[in-house]
Amino acid sequence: KQEVTQIPAALSVPEGENLVLNCSFTDSAIYNLQWFRQDPGKGLTSLLLIQSSQREQTSGRLNASLDKSSGRSTLYIAASQPGDSATYLCAVNLGGGADGLTFGKGTHLIIQP
Amino acid sequence: GAGVSQSPSNKVTEKGKDVELRCDPISGHTALYWYRQSLGQGLEFLIYFQGNSAPDKSGLPSDRFSAERTGGSVSTLTIQRTQQEDSAVYLCASSRMGLTASYNSPLHFGNGTRLTVT
C-alpha cells in the first residue's frame, strides 16, 4: 500500500526566508505527483503537478522536484511571504486505472511577518 | 460557477439519520472525486467517477456510504444511519480528464462540507 509522508509536520519561519518542504512515498511506480495548498476552512488548491518522467516544475516562487527512484519530492518556496501561510499537501497517483490520489498529512506552514 | 461548488457547507445531524452531500463540478470536467478529511488525518479517497460511472468505489468505508452522479455533472454522496465516526470534512474535486488520461489535468477542489454527527 502506498504511503506518503511529509516532513516537517509544522514549520514556522520569518518572512523572506527560502524554505523546503519534503514529501516521501513508498511505492516509486507513480504516475504523477501533485503539491496542493489548503487554507483554513477551504478546499485544496493545486500548485504544481509533476509527471513521473519529469524532474521538476516551477511556478513563480515555487519549485517542485521529483526523484522517483528514491521516492522523494521537495517543494521549494523562495522569498516566503505571510500569504504563503497554509497547509501544504503532497499527493501521489499510482495510475493503472485506480484513479485517485494518496495524500500525505501535510506540512502546516506559518510565515511570521 | 467558475469552481467546484459543494453544499451544504456545514451539516449537523443526529446519529442514525441519513444525510446527502452535493457536489457541482466545474462545467465540462468528466472526472469527479470524493474525499474525506478527518481532524488530524490526511485525505482519504472515497470514490471516483468518470462520467456517470464509478470505476473505483474501493474507498467507501462501509455499505452505509453510496454515491451517484447524473448527467455527467452533479454528484451526491449519501451516508445512511450516520455514526459519530462519520464526522469529517467531505471534499469533492473534479478534473478535465481522469488523472491517468492527461498529463495536465490537475484536480480542482470545492471548499467541502463539514459534517458533524451528534
Residue pLDDT, tens place only, B65-112: 999 998 889 999 999 999 999 999 999 999 887 655 555 677 889 999
Residue A100: the pLDDT is 64
Strands (E), chain B: 5-7, 10-13, 19-24, 31-37, 43-50, 53-56, 65-69, 75-79, 88-95, 108-109, 113-117
- Chain A residues with CB inside 8 Å of B36's CB? none
Residue B65: the pLDDT is 96
Residue A21: the pLDDT is 97
CA distances from A94 to A77, A83, B55 (A): 26, 32, 15
Residue A23: the pLDDT is 97
- Chain A residues with CB inside 8 Å of B67's CB? none
- Minimal Cβ distance to A51: which of B45, B98, B103: B103
Place of cell 462540507: B113
Whether A97 and B111 lie within 8 Å, measured CB to CB:
no
- Chain A residues with CB inside 8 Å of B35's CB? 103
Nearest CA in chain A to B33: A100
Task: Dump pLDDT digits (tens) for A97-108.
Answer: 445 678 999 999
Residue B22: the pLDDT is 98
Residue with the larger pLDDT of the pair B36 and B1: B36
Question: pLDDT-based confidence at A72, cuts 50/70/90?
Answer: very high
Residue A98: the pLDDT is 47
Rounded mean pLDDT of A31-49?
Answer: 91
Residue A101: the pLDDT is 78
Task: Dump pLDDT digits (tens) for B37-76.
Answer: 988 777 888 998 888 888 777 789 999 999 999 888 999 9
Whether B58 and A106 lie within 8 Å, measured CB to CB:
no
Nearest Cα of chain B lies from the Cα of A29 at a distance, in angstroms, of: 13
Task: Dump pLDDT digits (tens) for B6-26.
Answer: 999 999 999 999 999 999 999
Q: Which residues of B touch A (CB under 8 A)?
A: 4, 31, 33, 35, 40-43, 45, 48, 50, 55-56, 58-59, 91, 93, 98-100, 103-104, 106-112
